Structure formats: structure tokens, C-alpha cells
Structure 1
Amino acid sequence: MAQLFNALGFWNTSATRHTPIEDVQGIFSGSLIAALGLFMLASAGLLTGSTAGIAFLLHYAFGVNFGLAFFLLNLPFFYLSWTRLGMAFTVKTFIAIGLTSVMTSLQPKVMDISAIHPAWAALLGGLLLGFGLLALYRHRASLGGVGILGIYMQERFGIRAGLVQMAIDLCVLAVAFFVTTPPVVFYSVLGAVVLNLFVAINHRADRYIAL
């Protein structure tokens, strides 16, 4: 029993490496919460930034399956992850992206949101995505794409990952003007700002070191 508690991290009182069990629960939980955030945004017809935003654009404009597009768009970023952030980060990120893609596709089968105000969807969706990303970051994983670039920029140059992602997200959302209406873009930008401010404030190397 003591060995199980140690594996789960219940008795850890000092900075130690995450155990495999801790990584499993952290990556699964982060992916599930992120998938719920994406579903919340999609229920109001909103978008987000990064590769998820591009996947949303392809879904809304051409009917492409969001989960599949999200997975495929992240593949090119694995080279940067593998060469700059290491094999362990890359493998855990690959698993997180796969889990999030599958669970996002399954959400409509297990949950139905008949009506939600876009402002509320932007707030909840942004916060849920932020919580999901934070859980993944703290277990040395991400949802790929700009998240990989953001972590690299923070670790290499000290630039906050959330600020890097916010700048790129706003560029992605600017393209949304060509495929959707201004109110949708406005609320989508609100969700992206909520998401990235949450990550920028809470994901700091001086407060939490992911091992």
C-alpha cells in the first residue's frame, strides 16, 4: 500500500519527478478537460487559436472532421518537439493530442448543449482549455502546435508561453473574418484571451517546475 501511495505521489513533500502513474492521470485529465473546452466552444459555433483554431476553420468552412484535422495539423510540429524538447515530451504530447482528438469527437455522443450564450461559452471554453493545457504543461506535455513553440520559447528565451500563444492565436482568429461573422470572431477572441491569460499567469517556471 505504501508503494502505491508513493507511486501516486500522496506522500511526496519535496520536488521529485512525476511518477508514471502521475503522468498518466495528468495527461488523461488534461486531455479530457481540454476536449470539454473545445466542445463548449464548438457548441456556440466559436473558434480558438493555434492548430485547434485552424481545425475549427476547416470544420466550419469545409465540413472536415475536427478531431482528424486537429491531429493531422499537429504532426509537423513534432520535429521541433523531438529535436528541441526531447523524446519524452514528444511522446507524451503525441498521446495527449490523440486523446484530445478522440474525446472531442466523442463529446457530441455523450453530451448535448442545446443552447448557450456565446460569451458564456467563450469564458467557460477558454478556462477549461487553460486548465487542460496547464495540467499537460505540468506533466511535460502539450496539445502540440503553438503549445510546443510556446514552451520552447519560454524555456529557451524566457518569453511566457501564454503570451507567445496569444499573439499567434489572434493572428489565426483574424483569418476567421473570411469564414464566419464578426460577432463569432469577437467572442472567439474573448475565449482566446481568457485561455492565454490564464496560462500566462499560472504557467511560470519560478512557481512550478515540471519534472
Structure 2
Amino acid sequence: MSTPLTSAAALEPAASSPAAALRHGRFEDAQALFTGSLFVSITMMLFAQAGLLTGSTAGVAFLLHYVTGLPFGAIFFVINLPFYWFAWKRMGPEFTLKTFVSVAMLALMADVGPRFIHIDYLNPLYAAIAGGLLMGSGCLFLARHHSSLGGATIVSLYLQDRYGIRAGKVQMLIDCSVVLLALAIVPFERVAYSVLAAVIMSVFLWISHRPGRYQGN
């Protein structure tokens, strides 16, 4: 699957070319960014309910949320701010702006969502499996529309676009590393379920996010 993350000028095809017909419109981008952010926000609510973690900047935000009690969404939004400079320089303004919008929507949805959804009981194994697949699906929506959720996702997509290293491999390595660092704060059982969720999400991306497979841009 292709993830063309170069500048907008380099992506501009001739109006009559087949690639032009495959370009995503603004409405398509908007629904994909909203849907992807919504899927991941549901994952964050499941993980918070089950006491699980995830990787990248979201994992760091979860740890700070558990320790300080501050809202996850606000922490997640602030932690991602330094990554936008790298994204702007390496990935271009279109990708950076879409990522900023996606991160902002996720931060808002994750903090507001519990007002609309309440789960009395949630098995952590179910949360890990369902959450891993939902997060993988959400990230795939975003990646196919030149967006991400910041942090390690920016780095993994850049490495795939620049060097052909699959985003799923990089994401798995980073996510599992962050989750394992949580052993000092979170019980081992919850960390194990969190690692399972990270592996499920990353394998999903590894299989689905192949360079050259997806032609929309």
C-alpha cells in the first residue's frame, strides 16, 4: 500500500490522469479523519476502563493520566506538540495539518466520550483484542488519507515512505517498548494485556498497510 507523504506539489497529477481520479476529496478526507479518530477514541475509553496502556505518545499520556489524574486528552494533545515540527519538515504541511486535526479530535473525543458511554464490566482480554483491532483500523483510515496520530506514528510512516520499512514493524517495536516501561507503574497482568493489544494492532497494520497496494491519495 502506498503512503505518499511528499509535498502537495509533488503529488499533483494531471487532471486527466488515472491518479487524478483516485485523489481523495475534502469530504472523503474529513470523514476518514473523523472516523479514524473516533475508532481510536473508543479504544482509549476501553483501555482506560480496563486499566490497559498503549504505545507511543498515547502510552506516555496514559501513564501520566494514571499518575496525576489529569485528563488523558489534554495530556495527549500537549505531548504531541513537539512532533509537528518534524512532521512539517519531513512530511509536508498537508500531512502535518491533518495530523494536528486528528490529534485534536482524538483528544476531545477521548475526554468527552465517557459522558456518552458507560461500561459496567469489561474483560481486559476483550479490551485488548477489540481495542487493538479498532486502533489499527483507525490508524489505517488516517494513514490512507495522509494523516496520523502524531508521535511514533509520524516516525513510522516517514520511515516507510523514505526507506520502505513497513510502518507496522516500527510501530510494534516502539509500542511494545513503551508498554514494557510501564511495568514500574501498572500491574504485570495489565501490561501483558497491553502488549497483546499492541501486537494485534501492529500485525493488523503490518498486513494491511503495504506499500504499493493502495492507490488513493
- Superposition TM-score, scaled by structure 1 size: 0.92
**Match status 1:180 vs 2:206:** no
Alpha-carbon offset, residue 62 of structure 1: 1.7
Q: Secondary structure at 1:75's aligned position in 2?
A: coil
Alpha-carbon offset, residue 209 of structure 1: 3.2
Partner of 2:196: 190
Correspondence 1:1-211 to 2 at 5 A: 16-211=22-217
In the alignment, is the contact (CA less than 8 A) between 2:168 and 2:205 conserved in 1? Answer: yes
In the alignment, is the contact (CA less than 8 A) between 1:77 and 1:144 conserved in 2? Answer: yes
Alpha-carbon offset, residue 175 of structure 1: 1.2
Structure 2: runs of 5+ lacking an equivalent: 1-17
Structure 1: runs of 5+ lacking an equivalent: 1-11
Once the two structures are superposed, what CA deviation does each residue of 1:1-36 show, in whole Å capped at 9, x if it has no partner? Answer: xxxxxxxxxxx9985210011101111111111111
Distance in 2 (alpha carbons) for counterparts of 1:144 and 1:17: 23
In the alignment, is the contact (CA less than 8 A) between 2:37 and 2:103 conserved in 1? Answer: yes
In the alignment, is the contact (CA less than 8 A) between 1:138 and 1:209 conserved in 2? Answer: no
- Superposition TM-score, scaled by structure 2 size: 0.89
The structure-2 alpha-carbon separation of the partners of 1:53 and 1:140, relative to structure 1 and needing over 3 Å to count, comes to same
**Amino-acid identity (%):** 47
In the alignment, is the contact (CA less than 8 A) between 2:22 and 2:215 conserved in 1? Answer: no
Amino acid at match of 1:46: L
Distance in 1 (alpha carbons) for counterparts of 2:29 and 2:138: 13
Alpha-carbon offset, residue 65 of structure 1: 1.3
Greater relative CO (CA pairs within 8 A, separation 6+): 2
In the alignment, is the contact (CA less than 8 A) between 1:137 and 1:210 conserved in 2? Answer: no
Distance in 2 (alpha carbons) for counterparts of 1:88 and 1:210: 15
Cα RMSD between the aligned structures? 1.4
Distance in 2 (alpha carbons) for counterparts of 1:210 and 1:39: 31
Runs of 4+ in 1 over 4 A off after TM superposition: 12-15
What is the count of residue pairs matched by the alignment? 200
